[in-house]
Structure 1
Amino acid sequence: MIRLIRNIGWLLSGRGVNAVLSLVYLALATRTLGFDGFGYFAIIVALGQTVTGLANFQTWQFVVRWGSGKDGPGEATGFAIALDMLSIALGLVLAAVLCWSAQFWLPLPLDLLPVAFGYCLVSLLAIRTTPTGLLRLRFEYGRATAAEAVQPIIRAIGAVLAVLFLPTVIGFILAWAAAEVAVAAALWFAAGRSQRIDLSKISLWRIPRDHPGAWKFVWSTNLTGSLNVGSKQVLILLVGAIGGEGFAGGFRVASQLGQALVSLAQTVSKAIYPELVHARENAHDMARRMANIALIGGALAVLVAVLFGRQGLVFIAGPEFSVVYWAMVILAIAGAIELVGASLESLLVSAGRAGTALAMRAVPTLLGLALLKAAMDWNGLKGAAFTVLGSSALAVIGFWVAVISLSQITITVKPKPEETSRP
């Protein structure tokens, strides 16, 4: 537990740097581009993150799961790199389809479509989940945090340069693209110093050969990651498609500020998953304690959003973005719920129940996306935020029920003390 708290501390320190600098580049982008211009920027970034999120496999989990054995992470890393290469190939096809079709369903000018495709390409080439997995396998959270801090630093510097020399959507997209490349290079460099990477072991068949059920785990975690993207980036695209670029930009700001807790939930999940894999006997107790801590933190964060959110929006993004205040509060509540559910979801995945976690995430997410238009027709951005809140609540309830079932199964199959003492 002490190591877990220390690892979370490293991750949160990185999130702290990211949070502070994100306020800087968010303020620069919103005030420079304005309501509609920031909407175009938000749509392009969402396209890039959608393509990467849908095509990308959660290879860091594979490295942690199969790289901790006596043979080391060589074959697990080779499998992860092979999947990364597959992700790039699949992602290019998806990017081409989305960017070509954007003219028919997204409020994006034609001259920005090549920019969107270029950003998608850079995002795919900057996939970095494998080196992240290598660092987490060795519990090198300090080194990983230092490498990941490159991204917000480059974004902030790039945003300043964009304001000074190219105060357009293209200028800010170039800054974001440079940050993606820089953080990927930093993580691969850090991982290479921590663990020798043997490229001769790149293979899609060795791990599945030695670990039956590997492909089921791969596709379950991939689909879970895709659904996480669907609940955020795809949602921004659909909000833009339904309400226009102004709605997309407003929802992006509300989401970035209100759902900062979702990023915190992902941080907790990434830190606790390796611990749960290595400490199976105490996994339930560890997850329960983390959920209790998360409940307190989430409640405090929602209180801060309610009391100071409107002033924060005006100070950071400008007066015209104050209209997204209630959407931001609703998304903050959704983030608090996700924070509580993060350790429960990780517990299911670490116990080999990735398919269960996928099902608990899939149904609420798809339901929320299906109801999005009706919700926006009812109450605009607040309606869109309510779909996120409902999806998060249903998913976490599902995780809780699944964990209770898992606990009962564990108790049932556990041998009685007197049976274990017999000769």
Structure 2
Amino acid sequence: MSRNMLSKWSSSEDSLIRVFRNSSWLFSAKGVGAVLSIFYLAILTRSLGVAGFGEFMVIVGAIQVMAAILKLQTWQAVVQFGVPYLLAGQHRAFRKLSVQNFWIELIGGLVACAALWLMLPYGAAQFGWNAPVQQAIMGYGVIVFLSVRSTPTGILRAQDRFGGNAVGDAIIPIVRFAGALILVVTLPSMTGFLIVWGLSEFISFLVMWLMVWRRHDSVHPPGNEAAIAVTPPSRKQFLAFLLYTNLAYLISVIRERLVVVIVGFFVGPAAAGLFRLADQIANSLNRLAEVFARPLFAELSRLFAIGRSRESRILFWRSLRVSAVSGAVIFIGLLLLGENIIALISGPEYLAAYPILLLLGAATIISLAGLGLEPLLQAAGQARNALVARVAGLVTLGALLAVFLPAYGTIGAAWVMLISAILTTIILFISSRAAIRKPQRPLSHSRRS
């Protein structure tokens, strides 16, 4: 009986089962990361103290915001335009698309390196960083910017090879955990932790490309789909999709990282440390949401590519129910165990982060409840609507921060994050509901003559 169920699980073409099957690979990587991150976060917070941890996270956050602004994320473009190529057996076109996205990502990384070199002296003057810390920041930034990881991620997901993707993702927490252990028995310092964080990004970059080149088999065309030739996207279509998805990604990074940087600059490193600890725990939930959302985007792209309207609608509503129930369960756990989690990980001096954790956790769970909304709009070719929702949330975030941060400090910033999440999710839901009701045709396909 159990063997029969396992066989159905591994071979079923039910859309939601395919999403869960691909998610299981990413859950394995995120599960490893979640366990190990508890340990290396404990080492990091206890070694650097509240203020030192806040300063470290300001550095990491600033680098990641710069990467989001200048180093374009390409994995969604590879999936969106590459899946139809693979379904049609046009492997040469898929390779050409992948190479194009590789160069887009690399050139953006080079621009980001130049920007960091120009801006680093201003950050050093603000926080009083000495020469070794500045060198470590520059080294960490160069590694993050030049590690082309988004393109191989898109290649593996388009080819339905989420196992390879999981291996690359799992490397980062493994290296950080091992590096943090070495530092705690030697001499923990901000410079040392920056070196470890950079090394984890570099090794993950190497492993991701190894996974891409290790095997070249791709998605097999289902049924008679091999008879379909795919019309390449126009330059305008490609650039518009790349622009909208990257702006949406930038906004999510700004919400997650830039607020910490702002708190650090205007309230102080200690406040940034408390805010970031709460944000880190809350965002561990967001990472679990991404585990489900990314295979969901790949599956929705496949259904839209072959024009299966009914299946995409069913998958959308089923995924929405699953994510809403999961979000409610997770928030109850956070409410009951949040204080204990903070004390266990970082010690009693961080307990002031608990109210912040509840607000940021609520914001994250509201986003979790609607995790299928943005992938649906992107897969349906309506990435602009997803961007509009993100921009509305960001404008609200910026306007309210200007009022709440000076008056209420970190707790005010947490309330602003919650309000922004609610508004964004409402707009995404309205847009997604309209998109899913429209009849769908195969995307960018034309019959061979």
The reply to whether TM is greater than 0.5 is yes
d(CA) in 2 for partners of 1:389 and 1:304?
Answer: 18
Pick the aligned partner of 2:302 from 256, 262, 278. Answer: 278
Q: Who is 2:184 aligned against?
A: 163
Q: Does 1:12 align with 2:27?
A: yes
Pick the aligned partner of 1:339 from 368, 379, 383. Answer: 368
Query: How much has 1:212 moved relative to structure 2?
Result: 4.6
Q: Who is 1:75 aligned against?
A: 96
Deviation sequence 1:291-336 (CA, Å, 0-9, x none): 1111111111111111111111011011111001010111111111
d(CA) in 2 for partners of 1:109 and 1:196?
Answer: 49
Looking at both structures, which has the greater relative contact order when contacts are Cα pairs under 8 Å and sequence separation is at least 6? 2
Kindly provide the amino acid, as one letter, of the partner of residue 378 in structure 2. V
Q: Counterparts of 1:100-119 in structure 2 under 5 Å? A: 100-103=121-124, 106-107=126-127, 109-111=129-131, 112-119=133-140
Q: Who is 2:241 aligned against?
A: 217
Higher mean alpha-carbon deviation, 61-70 vs 110-119, is at 110-119
Q: Who is 1:201 aligned against?
A: none
Deviation sequence 1:246-291 (CA, Å, 0-9, x none): 1111111100112222212222221111100111222222122111
Kindly provide the amino acid, as one letter, of the partner of residue 4 in structure 1. V
Q: Who is 1:128 aligned against?
A: 149
Query: How much has 1:401 moved relative to structure 2?
Result: 0.7
Pick the aligned partner of 2:211 from 186, 190, 213. Answer: 190
Aligned length: 403
Distance 1:208 1:50, change over 3 A: farther
Query: How much has 1:386 moved relative to structure 2?
Result: 1.2
Distance 1:239 1:108, change over 3 A: farther
Q: Who is 2:288 aligned against?
A: 264
Distance 1:409 1:304, change over 3 A: same
Q: Does 1:377 align with 2:406?
A: yes
Higher mean alpha-carbon deviation, 173-182 vs 89-98, is at 89-98
Q: Who is 1:56 aligned against?
A: 71
Q: Who is 1:142 aligned against?
A: 163
Query: How much has 1:141 moved relative to structure 2?
Result: 1.1
Query: How much has 1:174 moved relative to structure 2?
Result: 1.0
Deviation sequence 1:126-155 (CA, Å, 0-9, x none): 230111111111111122212221111000
Q: Does 1:94 align with 2:109?
A: no
Higher mean alpha-carbon deviation, 176-185 vs 45-54, is at 45-54
Deviation sequence 1:148-190 (CA, Å, 0-9, x none): 2111100000011111223111111111111010111111100
Please tell me the root mean square deviation across aligned C-alpha atoms, in Å.
2.1
Unaligned 5+ runs, structure 2: 1-15, 219-230, 442-449
Query: How much has 1:210 moved relative to structure 2?
Result: 4.6
SS at match of 2:257: helix
Q: Who is 1:41 aligned against?
A: 56
Does the Cα contact within 8 Å between 2:73 and 2:105 map onto a contact in 1? no
Unaligned 5+ runs, structure 1: 198-206, 414-423
Pick the aligned partner of 1:305 from 334, 340, 364. Answer: 334
Query: How much has 1:406 moved relative to structure 2?
Result: 1.8
Q: Who is 1:250 aligned against?
A: 274
SS at match of 1:342: coil
Kindly provide the amino acid, as one letter, of the partner of residue 333 in structure 2. V
Q: Does 1:289 align with 2:318?
A: yes
d(CA) in 1 for partners of 2:166 and 2:252?
Answer: 22
Kindly provide the amino acid, as one letter, of the partner of residue 261 in structure 1. L
d(CA) in 1 for partners of 2:32 and 2:316?
Answer: 26
Distance 1:14 1:209, change over 3 A: closer
Deviation sequence 1:174-228 (CA, Å, 0-9, x none): 111110101111111001113399xxxxxxxxx9875651111111111111111
SS at match of 1:352: coil
Q: Who is 1:420 aligned against?
A: none
Query: How much has 1:56 moved relative to structure 2?
Result: 2.5
d(CA) in 1 for partners of 2:75 and 2:437?
Answer: 29
Kindly provide the amino acid, as one letter, of the partner of residue 332 in structure 2. L
Does the Cα contact within 8 Å between 1:287 and 1:343 map onto a contact in 2? yes
d(CA) in 2 for partners of 1:78 and 1:352?
Answer: 22
SS at match of 2:439: helix
Does the Cα contact within 8 Å between 1:313 and 1:322 map onto a contact in 2? yes
Q: Percent identity?
A: 29
TM-score, scaled to structure 1: 0.90
